[in-house]
Amino acid sequence: EDGRVDVVVHAAGIDDPVAKGHIYEAAEKGEPVDVLSRLEDPTWRRIHAVNLDGTFHILREAVRTMRPIGGGAIVTIGSSAAFDTLVGYPHYASSKAAVHALSQSVAKEVIHFGIRVNTVAPGPVDTAMAARTPESVRKRMNDGSAFGYATAEQLSESICYLASDQASNVVGAVLLSNGGRFTV
């Protein structure tokens, strides 16, 4: 209403259901996972185009909008897979690791304009994307966590914190929200 954009949350992203199928197939046969040799260039580019390029475009537009008003908060969504990837997910893991690096680089650049950029790196979250994951793969993704898949509401609490004034001194952070699967 007042022409201001104070907070931007970029939560769009995709994974690869074909790769999940290959992971499932290998688990069912008791064989090693072989996704990389079957990964097609268009799939590699699509994952990176949505996850990384999409983040770049949102960051750029958010900064262009926030800079004239003197500040704001931007929260991007990365992934714990950037640190502790599931075997067979090189394209997803690399796209999300790049989201972390991009967000941190932009954070250092734009803090001088009063704009804070931070990232939430969730583990598995119970979303429509996760619902396409075969049960045996879901089980492997759940290993190491007492909490299982996070809810969207749990993830939103981390996002809201980073967007809030309570995080006014938090810049360029990657906040793990992974139910204790691992720590960094």
Q: Cα-flanking dihedrals φ and ψ of residue 96, to 5°?
A: -75, -35
Contact 19, 88 (CB under 8 A): yes
Structure tokens at 145: 């966590």
DSSP states of 153-173: HHHHHHHHHHHSGGGTT--S-
Let me know if 42 is exposed, middle or buried by CB neighbors in 10 A (0-12, 13-18, 19+): exposed
- Residue 92 is a catalytic residue: yes
Question: Among residues 24, 92, 149, 161, which one is catalytic?
Answer: 92
Measured distance CA(168)–CA(72) in Å, rounded: 10
Q: How far apart are CA 157 and CA 50, in angstroms?
A: 24
Supply the residues annotated as catalytic.
92
